[in-house]
Structure 1
Amino acid sequence: MLWPYQMLSLLALLASPRHLLQAHAYLLPRGGHRHTRLVSALLLASLRLPLRDHAVALVRRVHPSVSLRAAARFRGGSGLGPQLHSLLLREGLAADPHASASLIQAYCSCGSVDSARRVFDETASSGDVVSWNVMIDGYVKSGDLARARGLFDVMPERNVVSWTRVIGAFAQMKQPEEAIKVFRRMQVEGIEPDGVALLSVLSACGDLGVVDLGEWVHRFVLRRRLCQEIRLMNAIIDMYVKCGSVKKAVEVFEGMEQKSIVTWTTMIAGFALHGLGLEAVGLFRRMEKENVSPNGVTFLAILSACSHVGLTDLGRWYFKIMVSHYKIKPQVEHYGCMIDLLGRAGCLMEACGLVQDMPFKPNAAIWGALLAAARTHGDTELGEQALLHLIELEPHNSGNYILLSNIYAEQERWDAVRELRMSMRDRGLRNVPGASSIEVDGMVHEFTSRDGSHPSLHKICEVLYAINTNIKSVGHIAVLPESLHEVEEG
């Protein structure tokens, strides 16, 4: 008998209805109807050829729980969900928890989330946590986090999968504050997180710079003896790096008995992020000595490190050996790093030549690197050329206009500055102020320029005034605001 994986390959290649019927006749007597992936492949082949009646007949022949699990593997609008639904209703199995959960998943997989919700509403009274989790997952995958969170909040019973899915969704969708809020609720309710939840929380901590919670997760991992989980340890390193605790990241790195290429790459990227280019290069060389082969992401990290500290020749060397020695084909991101490196070093002609030689169409990151280089070295012509491309690729990014405006201002071309500002106004663009954040007693506070809305603003200004007074007393120039009025006025 052919093994299941061989049959899967064969079913994907079938080109005629007759061959499909032969394969079906071969599989069913040999227990193929109990193999979810084989049933899924048979259903897909039946729809592709097309033999829709045969697909429906197949559903009738196999156990309902198997045919819904099979349907749940589908992607795209196969149209099989409604047929399965009608068959389950006819057979009186629609209220079966496993069958209804699989049907909900089938509808969600086909993009019919509203249909999935109707099935869920009809069967939710059973209180089966699996159906709730599947429906939440369907909302998450469709990008509707509001409904996912709303359903989660009214669940009669939650298990660790429920908590993990919601926390992970907020972390993946770059809403780290919400991810941490849900995790803290999870702690209050006494639910012990699993490894997947911890990965999501560490990611959120890194995005927000919440090192206190990140350290709690680290201690939890140590208490539960999860140090052999390389993915978790890698996430801890990444969290410490993003929170600015490079020393702790190095301690975790050095304490790991086993390291993956992701471990090495995360630490190299961490050094690069903090401008520690020489440390990044040293670690890369140590990695090579230990016969760990770098991948494309590792080279992105080392090229970035070289760029940040001006190691131009070394960056050129790494870009060369990536292709010649490691046989890694450069992607557009690698070219972006090289163009940024050359631009920072003032090698603008070489950078432009590299753009022309790229086998890819330059993206916004490429032109952005050239615009930044033009800004640094006062090359108006290159700046204007880069901006034209950026306006086409990122028409609503005000930062690009600001960079070119700064080039004009440094050359005292005030008419050009005025025209650029008028162009921004005509396009409805505003200069969005940058934001910074700080964690105090487990709470993250965010500040933006000219923002006087923080509830502790007066206390902050009192501290700033005291610092300013001390600076003056030792003979330095005052650089901090003298009063609350100055802060509010920007």
Structure 2
Amino acid sequence: MIITGLHRDNLIVAKLLEACSVTGHLRYAYSVFTHQPSPNTYLHNTMIRALSLVDEPKAHSTAVLVYRKFWSLCPKPDTFTFPLQIHRQTVVFGFDSSVHVVTSLIQMYSSCGGLGDARKVFDEMPVRDATVWNALLAGYGKAGEVDEARRLLETMPCWVRNAVSWTCVISAYAKKGRASEAIEVFQRMLMENVEPDEVTLLAALSACADLGSLELGERICSYVDHRGMKRGVSLNNALIDMYAKSGNVAKALEEFERVSERNVVTWTTIITGLATHGLGGEALTMFNRMVKAGVQPNSVTFIAVLSACSHVGLVDLGKHLFTSMRSVYGIQPNVEHFGCLIDLLGRAGRLKEAEEVSRTMPFEANAAIWGSLLAASNVHHDLGLGESALNQLIKLEPNNSGNYMLLGNLYADLGRWDESRMMRKMMKGTGVKKMAGESSIEVENRVYRFISGDLSNPHVVKIHELLQEIDLQIQSNEI
């Protein structure tokens, strides 16, 4: 470009900047931009957009700097100059009714935590297309305001609602852990003959996995095959995860062996599934297969592998793998990895070693770590550690009844009944209630949840009658 003089053509230079930023050479792209003698509006827009799309504070501050310098070089902006920039000036230049600008303003306010301002911009827009509606839906979803997102979807004109609109709400419910509602919205989407895309199906499968809804997950899989949709790596990963979380590990393995293209997520998903179901040996074998296949494990992989070592009781191997994270794979262990190591040592009865790791690690011990120490002290009857762990947990999780119950059980096992009763009195005195038991069952693509003591189910009388009948049959040895 320099030899032929094309480096003076702002349009061609803009294409070069785009190519550099997409391939990870943003710093070089910015260097090229700063050496342009007469950058025009389009070139500024390209540079601002490239800097804004990178998830780095320094890049964002540089984008604002480029925007400020723009005013001294370019007499007038266009509608593409304003995304992630200044709202007031959009009004001054008359772009406040531009769909592109309004969409970007909604995204800007949503990203900065200003959902109220985003809604105000939305409400003041006289004519709204799907992109404007979806921008606000996505904003509510990312902020965890799922009920607001649902209400907005319901008020959205049916002829404007598209696959993206439905997906925003389904994904928001799934990420919030409200899987039943995610599935409900997904089923309504299909009833309205809106064809889901891969992102929608990923969110729906994630919800099925959380619910343990195997039947519905398989229906989604059949839907994909029936429509002739290509199963990408992400979709296959979600399917393996759904089978594993729904308890069908054999089917998860079958799907894993069937797919030809596997990435680190694929391997990690099946390793996690095996480890979660107590198949530690199989999980470690799978990890060895992964390494031999030349796939670099990530931090999530090591959480699964260390968990597998805990289930199998391979302490030395677990410690070796923990050390290899940094020395072999260049992965810095985080608090979750230290938690896995502490759990591994605690389960094996090496309580002093586990406690030492918790004291010397470069992180503040969280509730999960203290919970592991409390559980280990209960199993191995270390009262001192148990009391110390509970004192920390009361500060971090004052309303978690399980912590009090564990120490109470430890006192009871040691024959210290007064202290055991004291735990229950402490729970009562501080207003901590024992967590109710909960179970669920899937019947005809619907998951029914039952909570101990809950009488809100309309069929509660019939349920109790049936339970009594079953109880009588068990007692009479008829079943």
TM-score category, normalised to shorter length: 0.7 to 0.9
Is residue 9 from structure 1 mapped to residue 27 from structure 2 by the alignment? Answer: yes
**Which position in structure 1 is the counterpart of 2:223?**
220
With over 3 angstroms needed to count, the CA separation of the structure-2 counterparts of 1:56 and 1:115, relative to structure 1, is farther
Rounded Cα–Cα distance in structure 2 between residues aligned with 1:441 and 1:456: 17
Is residue 67 from structure 1 mapped to residue 56 from structure 2 by the alignment? Answer: no
Q: Bigger CA drift: 416-425 or 467-476?
A: 467-476
Rounded Cα–Cα distance in structure 2 between residues aligned with 1:449 and 1:280: 34
Q: 1:81 aligns with which of 83, 87, 106?
A: 87
RMSD: 3.0
Maintained 8 Å contact 1:272/1:302: yes
- Whichever residue aligns with residue 286 of structure 2, its letter is L
- Whichever residue aligns with residue 446 of structure 1, its letter is R
Percent identity over the alignment? 45
**Which position in structure 1 is the counterpart of 2:4?**
none
- Whichever residue aligns with residue 126 of structure 1, its letter is V
Deviation for aligned residue 1:43: 9.4
Q: Deviations over 1:224-275 (max 9, x none)?
A: 4445410110000000111111111111101001111111111111111111
Q: 2:211 aligns with which of 191, 208, 225?
A: 208
Is residue 258 from structure 1 mapped to residue 261 from structure 2 by the alignment? Answer: yes
**Which position in structure 1 is the counterpart of 2:3?**
none
Deviation for aligned residue 1:280: 1.2
Q: Deviations over 1:296-341 (max 9, x none)?
A: 2222112112212333343334334434433433222122112112
Rounded Cα–Cα distance in structure 1 between residues aligned with 2:420 and 2:299: 41
Q: Bigger CA drift: 159-168 or 298-307?
A: 298-307
Deviation for aligned residue 1:210: 1.1
Maintained 8 Å contact 1:435/1:448: yes
Maintained 8 Å contact 1:43/1:58: no
Q: 2:446 aligns with which of 440, 443, 446?
A: 443
Q: Deviations over 1:344-400 (max 9, x none)?
A: 121112212222332222221111100000111121110001111212222332321
- Whichever residue aligns with residue 132 of structure 1, its letter is W
Q: Bigger CA drift: 126-135 or 419-428?
A: 419-428
Q: 1:102 aligns with which of 101, 104, 114?
A: 104
With over 3 angstroms needed to count, the CA separation of the structure-2 counterparts of 1:337 and 1:109, relative to structure 1, is closer
Maintained 8 Å contact 1:364/1:393: yes
Unaligned segments of structure 1, at least 5 residues: 14-19, 72-79, 477-490
Deviation for aligned residue 1:470: 4.6
**Which position in structure 2 is the counterpart of 1:118?**
120
Is residue 155 from structure 1 mapped to residue 151 from structure 2 by the alignment? Answer: no
Rounded Cα–Cα distance in structure 1 between residues aligned with 2:74 and 2:144: 31
Rounded Cα–Cα distance in structure 1 between residues aligned with 2:371 and 2:304: 19
Rounded Cα–Cα distance in structure 1 between residues aligned with 2:432 and 2:242: 34
With over 3 angstroms needed to count, the CA separation of the structure-2 counterparts of 1:461 and 1:70, relative to structure 1, is closer
With over 3 angstroms needed to count, the CA separation of the structure-2 counterparts of 1:185 and 1:372, relative to structure 1, is same
Rounded Cα–Cα distance in structure 2 between residues aligned with 1:61 and 1:335: 55
Deviation for aligned residue 1:144: 2.1
Secondary structure of 1:192 counterpart:
coil
Deviation for aligned residue 1:23: 6.3
With over 3 angstroms needed to count, the CA separation of the structure-2 counterparts of 1:324 and 1:455, relative to structure 1, is same
Q: 2:270 aligns with which of 267, 275, 284?
A: 267
Unaligned segments of structure 2, at least 5 residues: 1-6, 8-12, 53-58
Rounded Cα–Cα distance in structure 2 between residues aligned with 1:12 and 1:398: 55
**Which position in structure 2 is the counterpart of 1:479?**
none
Q: 1:382 aligns with which of 374, 385, 388?
A: 385
Secondary structure of 1:279 counterpart:
helix
Rounded Cα–Cα distance in structure 2 between residues aligned with 1:468 and 1:100: 63
The correspondence of residues 38-437 of structure 1 with structure 2, limited to 5 A, is: 44-45=61-62, 61-64=76-79, 66-71=80-85, 80-84=86-90, 86-88=91-93, 91=94, 93-123=95-125, 125-156=126-157, 157-437=160-440
- Whichever residue aligns with residue 232 of structure 1, its letter is L
Rounded Cα–Cα distance in structure 1 between residues aligned with 2:415 and 2:478: 34
- Whichever residue aligns with residue 163 of structure 1, its letter is W
Is residue 28 from structure 1 mapped to residue 40 from structure 2 by the alignment? Answer: yes
Q: Deviations over 1:73-130 (max 9, x none)?
A: xxxxxxx22333x224xx3x3223223222333333333322222221122x424111
Q: Bigger CA drift: 357-366 or 308-317?
A: 308-317
TM-score between the two structures when normalised by the length of structure 2: 0.85
With over 3 angstroms needed to count, the CA separation of the structure-2 counterparts of 1:440 and 1:48, relative to structure 1, is same
With over 3 angstroms needed to count, the CA separation of the structure-2 counterparts of 1:106 and 1:357, relative to structure 1, is closer
Rounded Cα–Cα distance in structure 1 between residues aligned with 2:50 and 2:303: 43
Maintained 8 Å contact 1:300/1:333: yes
Secondary structure of 1:61 counterpart:
coil
**Which position in structure 1 is the counterpart of 2:56?**
none
Rounded Cα–Cα distance in structure 1 between residues aligned with 2:261 and 2:349: 41
Maintained 8 Å contact 1:32/1:38: no
Secondary structure of 1:447 counterpart:
strand
- Whichever residue aligns with residue 118 of structure 1, its letter is K
Maintained 8 Å contact 2:48/2:63: no
- Whichever residue aligns with residue 428 of structure 1, its letter is G
Rounded Cα–Cα distance in structure 2 between residues aligned with 1:299 and 1:43: 33
Rounded Cα–Cα distance in structure 1 between residues aligned with 2:72 and 2:153: 37
With over 3 angstroms needed to count, the CA separation of the structure-2 counterparts of 1:116 and 1:313, relative to structure 1, is closer
Rounded Cα–Cα distance in structure 1 between residues aligned with 2:382 and 2:50: 63
Deviation for aligned residue 1:467: 4.1
Rounded Cα–Cα distance in structure 1 between residues aligned with 2:35 and 2:84: 17
- Whichever residue aligns with residue 130 of structure 2, its letter is V
With over 3 angstroms needed to count, the CA separation of the structure-2 counterparts of 1:330 and 1:142, relative to structure 1, is closer
Rounded Cα–Cα distance in structure 2 between residues aligned with 1:209 and 1:58: 59
Maintained 8 Å contact 1:202/1:236: yes
Maintained 8 Å contact 1:101/1:134: yes
With over 3 angstroms needed to count, the CA separation of the structure-2 counterparts of 1:27 and 1:304, relative to structure 1, is same
